[in-house]
Structure 1
Amino acid sequence: MNVKVITIGNIKENFIKDGINEFKKRIKPYANLEEIELKETLITDENTSNIEKSLDDEADKILSKINNRDYVIVLDINGKQYDSVDFSKKLEELKIDGYNDFAYVIGSSYGLSKKIKNRADLKLSFSKFTFPHQLMRLILFEQIYRWIKISKNEPYHK
């Protein structure tokens, strides 16, 4: 299985970097993992048209990292919610259907362009709560590891 995590912006906090690195290390025996950090487009004037242009610029960067064979899962507060077991089952069904390449996308603090949402095979919501993007990346890596452990029927140490 190939897993790609595409994000806008970088991680500033060391404790979050440490947590992400721990889960990347745990995932490595089970999947080819690639983390792609893309530079956030600077917005100097926060009017709607500038934000949309910025999101479109970021979308172009994201789309350049997505292959045709990737099953694209975007994190979107309005997306479908699953519990960990059900989402692990969903991924196993997708693998049975022939998908082996998964690309998870986390947008900037302004979200994601419609271009990316339209390309998504699945819009996934972890919660109706808003999380900081750095923390969301850590949560995503933890969940990827959890989904793998569930699918392998292996214990997950809580």
Structure 2
Amino acid sequence: MNIKLVVVGKVKEKYFRDAIAEYEKRLSRFCKFKVIQVPDEKAPESLSKAEMEAVMNKEGDRILAKLSDREYVFTLEILGKQYSSEELAKTVKQLTTYGNSDLTFIIGGSLGLSAAVKKRSNATISFGRFTLPHQLMRVVFCEQIYRAFMINNGSPYHK
């Protein structure tokens, strides 16, 4: 099984990089896990709606270039479907049991995801309606994917 996390921008803080690396190591027991970073576009605070769309479209093109047709794609979106940890574990297990061995999760840039990326998505996930820094969201996501595997393996980790 292959799990890919496609993200916009780099993780600047060492403590976030260390946490992500720890979950990558833990996940290696269960799957091939890979984080792919695409460059973010410079986005000053005062952008027009058209300029914001242009930034999202450029980042979206970079994201789409990292996807293949066979991947089952989840986009992380504030208005996406909210899962409990157990529901996410069940979803991952069902998808991989029924022929989807390449799962990709996408975290967009600071302005969000382009319409083209959302259209390519097979499903959405929301970690709640609050806003998290994208670097922290990567850590939270990695932990939840690890938790899903631990749940599916009957480990007491998630309690």
TM-score class, shorter: over 0.9
- Root-mean-square deviation (Å): 1.2
Q: Does 1:40 align with 2:48?
A: no
Residue of structure 2 in register with 1:24 after alignment: 24
**Which amino acid in 2 is paired with 1:17?**
R
- Measured after TM superposition, the shift of residue 150 of structure 1 is 0.8
Identity of aligned residues (%): 38
Residue of structure 1 in register with 2:149 after alignment: 148
- Measured after TM superposition, the shift of residue 115 of structure 1 is 0.7
Q: What does 1:17-96 correspond to in 2, within 5 Å?
A: 17-44=17-44, 46-96=47-97
Q: How many residues align?
A: 158
- CA displacement, residues 14-70 of structure 1 (integer Å, 9 cap, x when unaligned): 111111111111001111111101110113451110110110111111011011111
- Distance, in Å, in 2 between the alignment partners of 1:81 and 1:116 is 19
Residue of structure 1 in register with 2:7 after alignment: 7
- Distance, in Å, in 2 between the alignment partners of 1:117 and 1:85 is 25
- Distance, in Å, in 2 between the alignment partners of 1:43 and 1:90 is 35
Unaligned runs of 5+ in 1: none
TM-score scaled to structure 1, two decimals?
Answer: 0.96
Residue of structure 2 in register with 1:130 after alignment: 131
- Measured after TM superposition, the shift of residue 92 of structure 1 is 1.1
- CA displacement, residues 101-137 of structure 1 (integer Å, 9 cap, x when unaligned): 0111000111101111111011100111111100000
- Distance, in Å, in 1 between the alignment partners of 2:69 and 2:78 is 25
TM-score scaled to structure 2, two decimals?
Answer: 0.95
